[in-house]
Structure 1
Amino acid sequence: MYKFKIESLNCMSCFHNIEDALKEFDSTIEAKADVRNQTLTVQSNQSAEQLTKLIEAAGYPVNGVTQG
């Protein structure tokens, strides 16, 4: 599980854009957003680097990532 800090994660529409991009790559990815804290929690077998690339390709720069 990874937690991404995404300062441009301001609404649930933003979350759905990211979630769609992740699920298009791997339909088994599970994601949850905390818009208030601008964090995205992702459960996936993909690497943090791959997930970061997917999130950023969707237009949302990642400001940090933690595992756990």
Structure 2
Amino acid sequence: MYRFHVPDMNCGGCLRSVRQAIQRIDPQALVEGDLETRIVTVSSHQGEALLLSALDMAGFPAHLLSQHEA
């Protein structure tokens, strides 16, 4: 499971776009987002780099949160 901070995700449409970008590369991925904290939690068999690349290409650059980051 990965947790990403997506600074540009600020509405339901953004979250939908983020979810679609991830599910394009892994249709089975489970994606949950919190608009208040702008954190997306992803359960996927794809690697971190591929997920980050998909988000970047969709216009939502993100960074992986460590286990200690909120």
- TM-score (ref. length: structure 2): 0.87
* C-alpha displacement of 1:21: 1.5
- Cα 1:67–1:29 change in 2 (3 A) is farther
Looking at structure 1, the residues matched to 66 and 12 of structure 2 have their Cα atoms a distance apart, in angstroms, of 23
Structure 1 moving runs of 4+ over 4 Å:
none
| SS of corresponding position for 1:33 | strand
Q: RMSD in angstroms over aligned alpha carbons?
A: 1.3
Structure 2 residue runs of 5 or longer lacking an equivalent are: none
1:35 and 2:35 matched: yes
Give the unaligned 5+ runs of structure 1.
none
TM-score (norm 1): 0.89
